[in-house]
Amino acid sequence: MAQNLRFLQFGEGIVIKLTSNGGYTHFILCTFLRIDEKLTSPNIFYNNNIGIQVAEFLFLPNYAIGIAAASYVSRFLGANRSDIARAITYRILLGITYMGVLGIPLWFFGESIARWFSADNAVVYQAGLMFKVIALFQIFNGINIILRSALSEAGDTLIPTLFLIACAAGIMFPAAILLSQLIEPGLVGAWIGAFIYLVALSVMIIYRYQSNRWIVIFSLAQK
């Protein structure tokens, strides 16, 4: 499945990667760097690239589970059984426990994993800290992808997209900017800002799903 990548740069310090994969569009905080010599070394970009590669590899099961959720939602909504569509989606959400398990080795063995990519102790140390944040990503990212997939298949795309834009602009960017200055190393602070964004977005997507507006939208589209 093709993947389209675009990079957006704001000023001299913020680089955001916009990823469009399999119909899901989400922002990943690529890196936010303070204008500071110790944070503009090649190691910062290298560490961040390691984090992006590992995170995207671990996110792949989420996409597969999301496709399954979308398939069942489409099938049962088409059969006028929204109750089954909802129940199936909730059961599929249990698959996020698998994503949580994937985060365990990142949390406890992050530095060992980082040594697969580099022998530089500074790189390994920062990547180990970054992997702890990525470990926390797993469950919330699973919730976001699975429920957004289900909503999208029902035709409910506008509000979830507005949620994404609002959280990225109102939470992720400010949090990444602030935390990258308050936390050392700054790169870890930026990733924590992205984590906060993902938690907030997941809460909003859960609220949207439980509102059942997606059922109404699907019904209107069939008329």
Torsion 189-134-8-153 (CA) sign: negative
| Number of domains present in the structure of the chain | 1
Q: Return the closest-CA partner of residue 156 out of 210, 107, 76, 198.
A: 210
With respect to residue 8, please indicate whether it lies within any of the assigned structural domains: no
The proportion of the chain whose per-residue pLDDT surpasses 70, expressed as a percent, equals 78
Q: Which residues contact 22 (CB under 8 A, 6 or more apart)?
A: 1, 63, 67
pLDDT at 205 over 90: yes
Q: List the domain range (segments joined by +) for residue 97.
A: 40-221
* Separation between Cα atoms, residue 207 and residue 210, nearest integer Å: 5
Domain assignment of residue 34, yes or no: no
Q: What is residue 19's predicted lDDT score, i.e. its pLDDT?
A: 45
- Pick the more confident residue, 151 or 184: 151
Can you give the pLDDT at residue 43? 63
DSSP H or E stretch at residue 16: strand 14-21
Walk across the sheet containing 3-10 and list its strands: 3-10, 14-21, 24-32
Domain-located, residue 196: yes
Question: Which alpha helices (H) appear in 79-210, and where do they start and end?
Answer: 82-93, 96-114, 121-153, 158-167, 173-182, 186-210
In a domain, 28, yes or no: no
Please determine, for residue 204, whether its predicted confidence score (pLDDT) is greater than 90: yes
In a domain, residue 2? The reply is: no
Among 38-47, 180-189, 201-210, name the most confident range. Answer: 201-210
This prediction has a pTM of: 0.78
Task: Examine residue 189 and state whether it is found in any structural domain, yes or no.
Answer: yes
Q: What is the mean pLDDT of the chain?
A: 76
Q: Give a yes or no: residue 33 inside a domain.
A: no
**pLDDT above 80 for 16:** no
Strand-pairing partners, residue 21, are 3, 24
- Judge whether 14 lies within some domain: no
Least confident piece of the model among 17-21, 64-68, 167-171, 184-188: 17-21
**pLDDT above 80: residue 28:** no
